[in-house]
Amino acid sequence: MKNLFDTTYFRCSVVEDAATVEACGALKNVVAVGAGIGDGHKMGDNTKAAIVRLGMLEIIEFIDFFFKESNLRTYFESCGLADLVTTCHGGRNRKLGEALVYSNKTLIELEEEILKGQSFQGPLVAKAVFEILKSKKMVEKFPIFVAVHLICQRKMKTSEFINSLMNHPEHKTH
């Protein structure tokens, strides 16, 4: 299959770790909403880099907990870090995060306005992840995932998102 897609201008990687590929593809959208919130509040490039870094750590921590067979190398394939960076800089979920800062509209209204009826994946994944984390009593370990969920549900102000970065458990381990 790889040989069908590899060209002089396009490279294809084969990754056997399907669960990690799928989970990265879903969880990146939650982090991208957070990146958009940062953009909406004009937090700057260093803060955006922190959102991506801490978001990647949450992705790895979540996947490693639920998929013990995950392979660290997979996170550094195009489906992992590269896709996360791209989505946090230009994806539709990033646009949603920014819109949440400027608008009081519902997610349905924002989907209609921004995506013309398509759906944002970030809020759906954030809700599912939140429910899983709550059931496992792990909410405090994933402040970005939780904050994005609460903001999408309009249960947290977008201006409070910075707290999920400043008080991230990653800062307490060093």
Express each pLDDT in 44-76 by its tens digit: 999 999 999 999 999 999 999 999 999 999 999
Under 8 Å between Cβ of 144 and 31: yes
Which domain, by its residues, includes 33? 17-172
Longest dimension (CA), the chain: 49
CB 54, CB 168: distance < 8 Å: yes
How confident is the model at residue 3, as a pLDDT? 82
Q: Would you say residue 4 lies in a domain?
A: no
CB-based contact 20:70 (threshold 8 Å): yes
First to last CA, the chain: 44
* CA-closest candidate to residue 31, choices 153, 109, 104, 121: 121
In a domain, 134, yes or no: yes
Which of 123, 130, 147 has its CA nearest to residue 51?
147
Query: DSSP state, 10?
Result: -
1 lies in some domain: no
> Residue 41 maps to which CATH number?
1.10.1040.10
**What are the tens digits of pLDDT across the range 101-113?**
999 999 999 999 9
- What single-letter DSSP state applies at residue 171? H
Residue 160 resides in a domain: yes
Question: Catalytic annotation on 28?
Answer: yes
Question: How many domains is the chain built from?
Answer: 1
Q: Please, what is the average pLDDT of the chain?
A: 94
Section 112-135 average pLDDT: 94
Q: Kindly state whether residue 3 falls inside one of the protein's structural domains.
A: no
What pLDDT shows up at residue 174? 59
Segment 23-47, tens digit of pLDDT = 999 999 999 999 999 999 999 999 9
In a domain, 100, yes or no: yes
Q: How many CB atoms lie within 10 A of CB 49?
A: 14
- Which has more confidence, 128 or 171? 128
Per the domain annotation, does 114 fall within a domain? yes
Q: Assign residue 15 a region (left: φ > 0; alpha: ψ between -120 and 50; beta: otherwise).
A: beta
**Catalytic one of 28, 48, 116, 155:** 28
Q: Does residue 58 lie within any of the structural domains?
A: yes
Cα-atom radius of gyration of the chain, to the nearest Å?
16
